[in-house]
Structure 1
Amino acid sequence: MNMIVHYPKAEADQKDLGKKAALIHNQAVLQYLKQLSCPNYQKQALLKEMYPDHL
């Protein structure tokens, strides 16, 4: 499959795209963690390992 991607040229639009991509990534990570069968304290430990500066 071929795909053509057009990135925004304006700096403000690039930042907005970056924020939206980060939001989608975070939602995917949280959804994945919710599906794990381990206890919540282990899920929290995983989050702390992935994002040590944010928790």
Structure 2
Amino acid sequence: MNMIVYTPQTEKDKKELGRRAAVLHNEVLMQSIRQLPCPNDQKKALLDEIKSESSY
């Protein structure tokens, strides 16, 4: 298997890569929480806790 790795060179490209990584992380997190077998109010509480922890 051949792989090409892109390394951003400019600050603009580095910020864009960071933004895209954050979007992907958020999508995976939301999908994982949706699949939890608990009530929606517990899912909301979990999201609220994650949000409060990430604001440090």
TM-score in same-fold range (> 0.5): yes
Query: Could you tell me the TM-score, scaled by structure 1's length?
Result: 0.81
Percent identity of paired positions between Structure 1 and Structure 2: 49
The AA in structure 1 aligned to 2:35 is: Q
The AA in structure 1 aligned to 2:50 is: M
Identify the residue that residue 28 of structure 2 maps to in structure 1.
28
The AA in structure 2 aligned to 1:42 is: Q
Superposed counterparts of 1:1-55, under 5 Å: 5-52=5-52, 53=55
Identify unmatched segments of 5+ residues in structure 1. none
CA distance in 1, matches of 2:39, 2:4: 42
Runs of 4+ that moved beyond 3 A: 3-6
More helix as a share of residues: 2
Q: Which has the higher contact order (CA 8 A, sep 6+)?
A: 2
Identify unmatched segments of 5+ residues in structure 2. none
The AA in structure 2 aligned to 1:25 is: H
| Number of residue equivalences | 53
Give the Å deviation of 1:28: 0.2
